[in-house]
């Protein structure tokens, strides 16, 4: 359970965006500050979660499905791995 308050350093009021970055990227939603959200961490795994009230700075965001960014280098095409596993193409 992640509490959206001073416990994690969140002092701003309003709504906080919650995004899971590891083991995959998944938008967990927007919640009022002061609330809490349950995040599943599988056995023998870790999780990296961002909770922020600031505007999103990620170049690419998808909602509704977990995904991984396979290639995000300048000059190369962006390839996303989705739950359906589409192949990357140039």
pLDDT of amino acid 80 = 60
Residue 79 in tokens: 């390839």
Rounded (10°) CA dihedral 24, 25, 28, 33: 110
Q: In order along the chain (90 residues), what is the average pLDDT of each group of 10 residues? A: 81 87 88 88 90 80 76 63 53
The DSSP letter of residue 67 is E
Tell me the chain's radius of gyration from C-alpha atoms: 15
Whole-number pLDDT of residue 84? 47
Q: Scanning the structure block, which residue is given the tokens 């009230």? A: 53
- Name, in order, each residue with C-beta under 8 angstroms of 23's C-beta and a sequence gap of 6 or more: 42, 45, 46, 47
- Percent helix / strand / coil, the chain, rounded to 5: 5, 40, 60
Residue ranges per domain, the chain?
A: 2-82
């Amino acid at each position: 359970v992640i509490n959206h308050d001073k416990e994690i350093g969140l002092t701003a009021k309003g709504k906080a965006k919650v995004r899971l970055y590891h083991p995959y990227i998944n938008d967990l939603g927007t919640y009022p500050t002061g609330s809490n959200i349950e995040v599943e961490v599988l056995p023998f795994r870790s999780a990296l979660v961002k909770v922020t009230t600031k505007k999103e700075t990620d170049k690419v965001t998808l909602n509704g499905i977990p995904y991984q960014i396979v290639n995000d280098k300048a000059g190369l095409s962006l390839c996303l791995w989705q739950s359906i596993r589409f192949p990357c193409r140039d």
